[in-house]
Every structure is written in structure tokens, then in C-alpha cells.
Amino acid sequence: MSDLARHIDSLSSARVLCVGDVMLDRFVYGAVDRVSPEAPIPVLRIERESAMLGGAGNVAANVMALGAGCRFISVIGDDGAGAELRRLVAGELGDAAGMVAQPGRQTTVKTRFIGGRQQLLRADAETVAPIAADSANLVSGMVRDALFDVGAVILSDYGKGVLTDKLLARVIAVARTAGLPVVVDPKGSDYRRYKGASIVTPNRKELMEATGMPADTDEQVAAACRRIIETCGIDAVLATRSERGMSVVTKDGLVAHLPAEAREVFDVSGAGDTVVATLTAALSAGVPLEDAARLANLAAGIVVGKVGTAVVRAPELLEALHTQEWRHGEAKVATREQAAECAERWRLRGKRVGFTNGCFDLLHPGHVSLLSQAKAACDVLVVGLNSDESVQRLKGPTRPVQSETARATVLASMAPVDLVVIFGEDTPEQLIKALRPDVLVKGADYTIDKVVGADFVQSYGGKVVLADLVAGQSTTNTIKRMAG
């Protein structure tokens, strides 16, 4: 385990080149209140929209999330969606110089329409055709220039036309001549296109399609992997097998079957992107193949517990490695981003997410009553906890009595509390907007119009609950009594 921990620490030194089909993943959220009079279809009342990097862009984002560096090269259309992708790449990866705009080509956009908790429709706009020769030459030149600064190469093939046969051969040849491992996330059934690659990473279905062989047992998977190695001129295969984990087979005779490490399989979207990103970043940092595969397996176990296409960060890998929480449940103290992901996951299961907040300096019966009433109003309860600096601003320089770590630990140990999030602002407004709770709970010494976030929660149909107070109970009074 200590070796894997050191390998995780080394990811920050990794430098990866990613080449492939970039996409714009767009999400349109809203509510469905009625059926259209024009046809028997739901009418979506749009409330918000978001966009994120998809395809090879998600692979590059996963590399960056691990703390590694990533050079990203792809081809987009000379259109509005392409311009939006360029802005996203610049913002998330730090450099959009590798985005080649080809006139007349349509940028791939996948738009998902979501009503409440249900995806209603996905609409795709794209050009599925080989990129022009001029674009391929530009990409090839960028690759040659980038190889001096990286330790490994990812070819992320989504079959949209960026990775033509000729370009694949060029990139693999120059990368292997430079002594760099080339990892391919493949598409289609003819893996001879990837001849000379170090590793291909098919899932179980892709492995069967590429070989025409069964892939149910460990022995069958190993045999299918060997078929690819022998017939396609590839050094190794890492086959992902969903709930059965992964298998690594090399031309040198290594066969390793890694059990799945998932805490909870909720959404497999983008899991392959996370696997290839983690594997390649580890190889770039000099991690041996089998250990790199173990890190990729660990990352896959984390990302399938998140909603939608997502990334895994190095601290999450370390946390999972040290505590094995993917087997024993999620930590109850989370960052704002982690809590938002948990809240979305709970909601998609039909659970009502509740939220309350406070300083919770010295826990007393009033706090216990508030938390019990809050939990009774929802299915899962998130508690926002003021940071030490926030408490000092609100209560004065002598407070808090206990540090935020101590207060969070005590809160997390309580049965009504499902998650604790420390926030540094004076109010939890930003945290409430990130979580979008179904139920907002505050003590009855407030009126609803004075509760921070009440208007926001009510705007999408959420409920505000005022909890009864326990007379004479407050941290201030407790401190006064302690002082004599």
C-alpha cells in the first residue's frame, strides 16, 4: 500500500499528451409540468444549462485533476460550439493552442435534456468523417513538438474522425521512437489500426467485438487479450470488466486480474476516460504497469460513484487507499464539491436532501433537538459548519472554543447527520446554492423571510422548516456558566 501511496504522490510530476476526439457535453435542466398539446410529449420548462468537456476533453480533464500536466490536441469546427469548446479547454486545461479549427466541419455537441430527475432526450450534432489532410498535418506537427515535454501519450478514439489511420500510424511511430508509452482508448473492432501501441484499454464488450471471443471468465478474458497482442502488434491490453474489475495481459506473459474497487456503482459515464487518464499519468511518472493499473482500478472505483462524467483527484485516491472507504461507506466530512455530488446522487435515487447550518461550538441539547427535527423532515441531512475564521467574525475573537476539525468530527459522529461541510463565508448562501436542498431547516428564532437561502430553495419548490427551540440552551450561556 505504501508503494501505491508514493505513486499517487508522484502523479504531480507526470506530463501527458492527449490526442483525440473532443466533444461539447451540454446539459439542459428543467421541470416538466404538462404534456404538449401538439404531440404526446412532455414540455420541458428550462431552468438552467451547463456545458463541460466531453470525449477526449474529459480524458484531458481527468489527467489535470490528478495534478499532472496535460497537452491536449484535437480538431474542432469553425463554429460557435467550437469557440465554446476552445474557451472551456483554455479555462480547464490552461491552454487551447492545440485546438485546430477546420472550416466546414461541425463540432461534436451532445445535448442532454433533463426534466427533474429523468433524462428525456439526447440530441447529437456532429460531423463523423476523417479530418482534412491539412488538419491532420497540423495535428502531426503539434504532436512532434509536444513530445519533448511529456512522458506518455494518450490516443482517445471516439470514432469521430480525428484519429485517422494515417495519423494514428504517424503519432504512434514518433512517440515510440521517442521512447514514450502510447496508451489507446480504442473504438471499432479492428485494432490493427493501433499497431505499435504500448497498451489498449477496451471494455469487456469491446474486447469481445474486437476478437470474436467470449470474455466471461478470467481465462477467457486473458485469451482474448492475448489474441489482440498477437494479431495487432500491441504490447499489452488492459481490459475493464465493470463489476469484475480489470485484467492486465502483456506480451511478456504478465496476467493480472484486479478485483473491482467500487464503493458503489451509480453511474459509469466517463469511467473509461478516468481509467486511461490515471493509467497513462502513472506510466508517465515512471510507475510500473501493474501498479499503474491498480491506481486506474482504484480511480474507476471512485468515479463510478459520482454522477455523470466526472474526474478523480489525487487526494481522493489517497483517501480511498488509506481508509478503504469505497468498501465501508463515504466519509461524512466533505468539501462543497463532494457534497454537491452526493446531494445530486441522493436526489436521483428519490431521496429528499435536507440542510441546516450553524457554528455548533459546544454541542448542547438545543443542537441535538435541531438536528433531530431536521432529519425528521428529510431523508438525508447535510450540515453546514462555519469555519474557525467565520465563527470569529460572527462571535468575536474568543470563539470558537473548539476547532472546526473537532466540531466537524463531533457532528459527523451523530446519527441524524449524513454529511458535514465546512464553509468559510459568514452565511451558507453559496453552499445552499451548490447543494440545492429539498428541505432547508433553521431554528424557530428566525422567520422564514430572514432565513438565508429560503427564497432560493422555495424558487424550485423546496420547503423551509423552522425547528422548535429548547429553552435556555445556547453555547453563549454555557460559556458564561463555565466562567462562573
- The CATH number linked to 363 is 3.40.50.620
Regarding whether 20 and 73 lie in a shared domain, the answer is: yes
pLDDT per position as a tens digit, 271-310: 889 999 999 999 999 999 999 999 999 998 888 766 555 7
Q: Check pLDDT > 70 for residue 396.
A: yes
The sheet with strand 99-102 has its strands ordered as 99-102, 69-77, 15-20, 152-156, 182-185, 199-200, 236-240, 246-250, 255-258
Is residue 482 predicted with pLDDT exceeding 80?
no
Domain boundary pick from 289, 307, 328: 328
Instruction: Name residues whose C-beta falls within 8 Å of residue 192's C-beta, 6 or more positions apart in sequence.
Output: 231, 232, 233
Domain count, the chain: 2
Mean pLDDT of all residues in 339-362? 87
Task: Count CB-CB contacts under 10 A for residue 415.
Answer: 8
| Peptide bond just before 42 cis, omega within 30 deg | no
Residues 306 and 182 grouped into a single domain: yes
Model pLDDT, residue 348: 77
As a whole number, mean pLDDT of residues 5-30 equals 94
Q: Are residues 345 and 323 in the same domain?
A: no
Residues 171 and 39 in one domain: yes
Same domain, 182 and 240: yes
Q: What is the pLDDT of residue 329?
A: 34
More confident residue, 15 or 350: 15
Domain end call among 279, 294, 328: 328
329: left (phi over 0), alpha (psi -120 to 50) or beta: left
Q: Give 473's contacts (C-beta < 8 A, 6+ positions apart).
A: 364, 365, 366, 367
Whether 289 and 429 share a structural domain: no
CATH of the domain at 66: 3.40.1190.20
Residues 477, 454, single domain; the answer is yes
Identified catalytic residue from 273, 361, 418, 438 = 273
Q: Could you confirm whether 3 is annotated as catalytic?
A: no
- Quick one: which of 162, 127, 154 has its CA closest to 66? 154
Q: Domain end: 273, 305, 328, which one?
A: 328
Q: What is the pLDDT of residue 372?
A: 93
Residue 286 and residue 213 share a domain: yes
CB within 8 A of 78, min separation 6: which ones?
A: 101, 102, 103, 104, 105
Per-residue pLDDT of 375-385, as tens digits, reads 999 999 999 99
Which amino acid is it at 200? Answer: V
Residue 331 in this model has a pLDDT that exceeds 50: yes
Residue 6 CB contacts under 8 Å (≥ 6 apart), including other chains: none
Co-location of 47 and 168 in the same domain: yes
Q: Which of 120-134, 158-172, 351-365 has the lowest mean pLDDT?
A: 351-365
> How high is the mean pLDDT of the chain?
90
Q: Does 229 or 447 have the greater pLDDT score?
A: 229
Q: What is the pTM of this model?
A: 0.70
pLDDT for 2 equals 54
Quick one: 161 and 110 in the same domain? Answer: yes
**What confidence score (pLDDT) does residue 401 get?**
86
User: Over the stretch 115-141, which tens digit does the pLDDT of each residue have?
Assistant: 987 889 999 999 999 999 999 999 999
- pLDDT at residue 364, as a whole number: 85
For residue 30, pLDDT over 90 is answered with: yes
Average pLDDT over residues 429-441: 95
pLDDT at 330 over 50: no
Domain that holds residue 323: 2-328
Please tell me the predicted confidence (pLDDT) of residue 328: 36
Please report the pLDDT score of residue 45 as a whole number.
93
Q: Are residues 217 and 119 in the same domain?
A: yes
Cα dist from 393 to 359, 387, 446, 450, 481, whole Å: 12, 10, 20, 20, 23
Q: Is the pLDDT of residue 214 over 50?
A: yes
Residue 330 DSSP one-character state:
-
Q: Does 223 share its domain with 122? A: yes
Confidence of residue 479 (pLDDT cuts 50, 70, 90): very low
